[in-house]
C-alpha cells in the first residue's frame, strides 16, 4: 500500500520545483527563488521521514517478530546517519 502522506508531499514538492524552474527561466528575484527552494527541501525531508516511519512500523516491526531484525536495524541506522549529516 502506498504511503499517501509521502506521496502527497512529493507531488507538492514536484509542483513547487517546476515553479522554481519557471522562476529561474524568467530570471525572477534570486531571494524569492531561494525561499522556494528551501520550501521544497522541507517537503522532501517530511516525505523522507514519513517513508522512514512507515518502514519502521512495518518492515522493521515484522523483522523483530521473525527474529531477523539485525539487518533492518543496520539499514535504519545507516539511513539516519546520512540524514543527520
| Tens place of pLDDT per residue across the chain (85 aa) | 678 999 999 999 999 999 999 999 999 999 999 999 999 999 999 999 999 999 999 989 999 888 888 888 899 899 888 878 7
Q: Return the H-helix or E-strand segment holding 57.
A: none
Residue 27: DSSP 8-state: T
CA distance 62 to 41: 31
How many domains does the structure of the chain reveal? 1
User: Residue 1 has what pLDDT?
Assistant: 63
Which SS3 state, helix, strand or coil, does residue 20 take?
helix
Cell digits of residue 51: 517513508
The secondary structure of residue 26, as a DSSP letter, is T
- Give me the CATH number covering residue 58: 1.20.58.1000
Give residue 27's pLDDT: 97
Record the pTM: 0.83
Q: Write phi, then psi, for 42 (nearest 5 degrees).
A: -65, -45
Domain that holds residue 54: 4-84
Amino acid at each position: 500500500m502506498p504511503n499517501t502522506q509521502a506521496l502527497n508531499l512529493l507531488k507538492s514538492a514536484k509542483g513547487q520545483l517546476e515553479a522554481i524552474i519557471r522562476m529561474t527561466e524568467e530570471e525572477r528575484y534570486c531571494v524569492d527563488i531561494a525561499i522556494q527552494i528551501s520550501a521544497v527541501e522541507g517537503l522532501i525531508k517530511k516525505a523522507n521521514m514519513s517513508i522512514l516511519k512507515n518502514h519502521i512500523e512495518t518492515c522493521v516491526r515484522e523483522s523483530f517478530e521473525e527474529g531477523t531484525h539485525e539487518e533492518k536495524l543496520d539499514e535504519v541506522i545507516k539511513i539516519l546517519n546520512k540524514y543527520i549529516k
